Structure 1
């Protein structure tokens, strides 16, 4: 029997480990929205692998398909050779996701992680346009490799690069300064004025909802104007949907409600369905000017992930699945607004949309305290923002109302506990 002992991690694993510090227990089992540790304690998972488990843990149909594939000696590794597993995924992705949304994209497999798809998107944009600079936005997060870090806003993560991060310009995201200032007037002025020091970039890259940057949701009007500016100046628009995509905000792609059609889309995390590593870079056919092998990766042909990813798309064949996400999203929104109103001590406001929401507080350290107490009570939840000022709700899309409400109760109990101990003190 496994003991709930963290000593081996403290002894051998690098200091860079993080989530084990926030969730200090040894997990042994997981199913849908529940996890259990070595002591048998049950937890409700409002973390979902940071958005990599939108369909929950160990989905039974995906598990069945995966086990069957392995037991039949299906191809595990193939780089980008043609396999039946890849063919079936591409067919289903085209029929279930792209065609119903009138999207015409080529599909590239750049490597298995989110930063892989962002790196390939930046490289392609520069190759297509012949320009070097990329415009990114404040509080954006796009990955931990050098190119992705260059378009990431978080100072501590950028510092980890150890070298200057060049060929990028940071502009203010929607409502970054205040609600009155139109940040795109500011951006467009830089493009128009030859004295601004900002050259016409190859691309702009953004998240429609900034997952790590504070659950900041851009208004649809803002996204539409970004799209218009990109078209006007011949700039490619890259939407990083690594965390906000695959239903997390209520629709398969987070940009759908805005009615825009990005030139390049980055997908990873939950596209694999089962938590298996997989990433896609989608781009308009006219941008497909790659030479064979010009961008590659040893694990870009992750066939077990193709199996589970194909099965995961079955959810999207039934319109009621998406409708259910949107209905449950309303419950999340209502709960968070209730908490802000009911407990003014939080000094909070609600951030985000869909299954990607949270409460931001001006009280220093609040979110970390709420998450810590919630974990003690049996809820797994993380924080977001440069100062961890948001505690965020990321339950799996497959969670039922009972599971949601159990999680809500644990969050409220945590808030009440902190208020009772007078640990929520206004600045």
Structure 2
């Protein structure tokens, strides 16, 4: 008997597979904010490759440039040799992104993934400061390799390392204790730095996400980020912003830290920097810190020329200020929709989290958000949960999504919320009876 695709995957792929369990269908096509499975069923994508597809699937201009490059026998693999594709990307990134924002960074290509850029940032911070410790924050997520796991908060992921994770100290993120201003978590941090008896050494760096994606859409307040930046300057600590998921427009500006008016020492970018979903990562380095010896940090796939082609074309969006404004306008609609859902359906005991195009609703009811995502998938909408207990269902649509796609997604989410409330009510009545 012939096996179907899902059966073949279940038989041969490791049990570590994850998303195929949440979205148990075989996808065959994708375009813009839509995906189709092998039966022709249409799905609206509010997942966007976990933030790797900020411009949607198979963006036509990027696709055209990439196909032309391949058909012309353009360089595919080059390590860090000079190529026209790399040079053009570097030039455009400087002209369109860095220079208008008054940012001066050297660009490092550490390898193609988010965890690669984090590893390079941690290594460089320790190299230039001569210190070993790094401070990270509760609920932070920075990658799955050993160094990145050491500054990641999730206990399940940390346990997967199989060894003790050293040379890192975890501090409470903004409003970690509660949602009020009752506890100044940075005063807590400063006390550890001030007191010689705290057991916390002056670290090489502090690493954080300004909006914690996997950690539950926790968004640091701008004043908190400003104070953290001042602490780093006071103590000579390098500030590393992990913008792998929150960057490239996801929060409403190209870099998530822009509204706070800070200039990190090191910035980590990956996911959507490639534009098309092709692997690419950048580590942006304050020129004064660029103390690498040639080849001191390297990787076979640090020069992905296909990604340079699509990444360069993706930057064309940012040449027009109207594009960024459109992201911010749609982000307001997302906030308004989620706020309305919280007010309209108090049964879910929810509250809105995040900012920009990475927002969601956190529910105090165990399992509620997971059920909403499950119902959404059944209705033809793809989205995932976040947080240590999967308590948040999060909206990650493409930042260039059409208004009609956004509205259709809203409609399906509301339908899923109503279905979940009804299902949980029935389950409660069954238990009672």
Instruction: Assess same fold via TM > 0.5.
Output: yes
Aligned to 1:46: 46
Within the candidate set 190, 193, 214, 1:191 is matched to 193
Within the candidate set 334, 358, 363, 1:356 is matched to 358
Aligned to 2:258: 256
* Equivalent residues of 2:368, 2:420 under 8 A apart: no
Gaps of 5+ in 1: none
Q: Quick check: 1:161 aligned with 2:156?
A: no
Task: Give distance in 2, aligned partners of 1:171 and 1:3.
Answer: 50
Aligned to 1:68: 68
Aligned to 2:78: 78
Gaps of 5+ in 2: none
Within the candidate set 390, 393, 396, 2:392 is matched to 390
* Equivalent residues of 2:112, 2:302 under 8 A apart: yes
TM alignment of 1:324-335, pairs within 5 A? 324-335=326-337
Task: Give distance in 2, aligned partners of 1:5 and 1:284.
Answer: 48
Count of paired positions: 425
Aligned to 1:308: 310
Distance 1:246 1:425, change over 3 A: farther
TM alignment of 1:3-152, pairs within 5 A? 5-152=5-152
Tell me by how many angstroms 1:418 deviates: 1.7
Q: Quick check: 1:243 aligned with 2:245?
A: yes
Within the candidate set 289, 292, 297, 1:287 is matched to 289
Tell me by how many angstroms 1:375 deviates: 0.1
SS in 1 for 2:409: helix
The RMSD of aligned alpha carbons is 1.2
* Equivalent residues of 1:36, 1:43 under 8 A apart: yes
Tell me by how many angstroms 1:422 deviates: 3.3
Structure 2-normalised TM-score? 0.97
Tell me by how many angstroms 1:5 deviates: 3.8
Task: Give distance in 1, aligned partners of 2:428 and 2:396.
Answer: 26
Q: Give structure 1 regions of 4+ aligned residues with deviation exceeding 2 angstroms.
A: 2-5, 420-426
Task: Give distance in 2, aligned partners of 1:225 and 1:333.
Answer: 26
Distance 1:109 1:175, change over 3 A: same
Task: Give distance in 1, aligned partners of 2:98 and 2:418.
Answer: 46
SS in 1 for 2:352: strand
Mean alpha-carbon deviation: is it higher for 177-186 or for 48-57?
A: 177-186
Aligned to 2:371: 369
Tell me by how many angstroms 1:425 deviates: 6.5
